[in-house]
Amino acid sequence: MEKLIITAAICGAEVLKEHNPAVPYTIEECVREAKSAYDAGASIIHLHVRYDDGTPTQDKARFKEVMDAIYRVCPDVIIQPSTGGAVGMTNDERLQPTELSPEMATLDCGTLNFGGDDIFENTENTIKYFGQKMIERGIKPELEVFDKSMIDMALRLHKKGFIQKPMHFDFVMGVNGGISGELRDFTFLKGSIPSDATFTVAGVGRYEFPLAVASIIEGGHVRVGFEDNVFLSKGVLAKSNGELVAKVVRFARELGRDIATPAEARQILGLKPR
């Protein structure tokens, strides 16, 4: 079985210090959290950025500042910027971090009711545009799927030339408006992707660690981090992203799965060496 790639989603765009005081906003805090995750065994840092007051932004300059600072302390880590952005942003605003030529970036594969009146909009034309830009810029997309229909969209757009193989999916499970975090639905998603595709599972909230174990057993990869869950166990706040990563490493070792280094993760995902 392939070695396990662990992704740390260190801050997201929604979670706040009110949820957990360790959630990073500033450049220094993002570096601290990225380093804690990297030291614990994460080879990919899934990155959103914010201004110092916690306001999320897709500003290219802010991404560059944070990415450069992380690379100074974790020179071989894979940084995966988010192109999710915020409600109301244009496609090009959301795509700003891809202008920095990262190895990977996220590509959301469908529209989602995100709770209340919030709609996370990704039309077919948006997905095509993002896919084409990533091909032009030599960036491997991580295909973010919140439901089975989004896998179908990705496969359809692959046939039309907007997404290249081998594909790498991220099953984001347990989000309000998306597929549940039940093992039944994990099996459903896993059985819906091509045999040559790789996948990561991001369980939200209480689903984070049960789905991590399922993915370890089934040969997939794992995403954890404050974006998805701020608790180490029920009622116990994690002190860092590193604590969440370390828990997955313990599970993997118990289950006989070795942890991938950044270099090994690049080989598994077909990335070019930095």
Asked if 216 and 252 touch (Cβ cutoff 8 Å), the reply is yes
Helix axes 208-218, 183-190, angle to 10 degrees: 40
Q: What global pTM score does this model have? A: 0.97
- For 64, the 3-state DSSP assignment is helix
Q: Where are the domains of the chain?
A: 6-269
Helical (H) or strand (E) element with 212? helix 208-218
Helical (H) or strand (E) element with 51? none
Residues in the chain: 274
Q: What pLDDT score was predicted for residue 4?
A: 98
What residues are paired with 113 via a beta bridge?
119
Two tokens, residue 223 = 């995403």
The CA R_g of the chain, rounded to the nearest whole Å, is 17
Two tokens, residue 250 = 């313990």
Torsional class of 119: left (φ above 0), alpha (ψ -120 to 50), beta (otherwise):
beta
The tens place of each residue's pLDDT in the chain, 274 residues long, gives: 899 999 999 999 999 999 999 999 999 999 999 999 999 999 999 999 999 999 999 999 999 999 999 999 999 999 999 999 877 789 999 999 999 999 999 999 999 998 788 889 999 999 999 999 999 999 999 999 999 999 999 999 999 999 999 999 999 999 999 999 999 999 999 999 999 999 999 999 999 999 999 999 999 999 999 999 999 999 999 999 999 999 999 999 999 999 999 999 999 999 976 6
The correct CATH number of 6-269 out of 3.30.420.40, 3.20.20.70, 3.40.50.150, 3.90.1170.50 is: 3.20.20.70
Query: Which position has the token pair 């932004």?
Result: 57
Cα 216 from Cα 52, distance rounded (Å): 36
Helical (H) or strand (E) element with 126? helix 124-136
Q: What pLDDT score was predicted for residue 86?
A: 79
Q: What pLDDT score was predicted for residue 273?
A: 66
Q: Cα 10 to the chain's mean position, in Å?
A: 9
